[in-house]
Amino acid sequence: MPHIRLSYMPLVTYPDVVPDEPVAAAVSLAEGLGCELHAATFSVDIPPMAPPLGGLLLNLAELIQTTEENSRAHCRRLQDLVLQHAGPAIKAKCTSRHLPAGVAGDAAANEARYHDVSFLPWAKDMLAVQEFAQAVIFGSGRPAILVPSSAGRDPVHHLAVAWDGSRVAARALADAMMFVGEETHVTVLTVEEEKQLNRQDLGQALVLSLKKRGLRAEAQNISLEDRSIALALQEAALTAGADMLVMGAFGHSRIRDFILGGATKGVFADLRLPVLLSH
């Protein structure tokens, strides 16, 4: 029986609307990774509100109605975009949910648990889109792939793995193994001066483990050179020819705000290639 990879792509439309370009790129990447795709759009339900003192906003009900209608229209447009961009090699379906503001992230995280991986279109300087993605990454318990507009439809044959020997790095590697085949090449990236490592040969030890499984793998130690950890890892991955970077996601929530680790925060700020994150 052939293995079916079930993927999930939640798309938010309020207060920011996820841009078309990374959505189309995520559909292409899902096809390149051999996934079936469930795209779920989320429109906003704003409860009736009394006008402020003095009645300065007498048209408040009309504004709420317009906002909700725009959100639903964006949902329909995004669904059309997904279905139009899906190639013949991918099975795609779309659903939509109408939820109160602030609830969509948790709802998406819950739905993501019934899939193997989530695709999260990335948008620079769109805080609501990024917070929505973080809710899925840290709340679903499943791996997620941040997707920039530059991602393509070609199969992913080269993975770069950010490796520090930690629990979350091991989890990310295990989650990425669903995309590893006989033709996959793995580059293990270790940044030695970023933190105290528990052994000096971390990269080589992982390479040996991967080779025992019949995989082609090599280790590469990288230097920060006045770069952020996220930029150093992404640039090293691109230089090595990797199609996707695999890394653990560090972060925790505080009063519904996510406090991100350095590498995770840097990836959200400046995404250069698809990044699989596991928490």
**DSSP per residue over 158-171, as a string?**
EEEEE--S-HHHHH
Q: How far apart are CA 188 and CA 237, in angstroms?
A: 9
191 forms bridges with which residues in the sheet?
A: 222
CATH homologous superfamily for the domain 158-278: HUPs (3.40.50.620)
Handedness of CA 89, 115, 272, 219 (dihedral sign): negative
Q: How far apart are CA 166 and CA 186, in angstroms?
A: 18
pLDDT, residue 219, reads 97
* 3-class secondary-structure state, position 88: coil
What percentage of the chain reaches a pLDDT higher than 70?
Answer: 89
pLDDT, residue 34, reads 92
Q: How far apart are CA 8 and CA 240, in angstroms?
A: 29
Which is nearest to 246 in space by CA: 128, 135, 156? 156
Residue 13 CA, chain-centre distance (Å), reads: 17
Mean pLDDT of the 197-220 span: 90
CATH number of 5-147: 3.40.50.620
| Domain boundaries for CATH 3.40.50.620 within the chain | 5-147, 158-278
For residue 238, is pLDDT > 90? yes
Q: How far apart are CA 133 and CA 147, in angstroms?
A: 11
43 forms bridges with which residues in the sheet?
A: 98
pLDDT, residue 255, reads 37
pLDDT, residue 3, reads 76
Mean pLDDT of the 124-146 span: 94
- pTM of the prediction? 0.92
pLDDT, residue 262, reads 65
pLDDT tier at 26, thresholds 50, 70, 90: very high
190 forms bridges with which residues in the sheet?
A: 221
Question: 47-56, 159-168, 209-218: lowest mean pLDDT where?
Answer: 47-56
Residue 257 or residue 42, greater confidence: 42
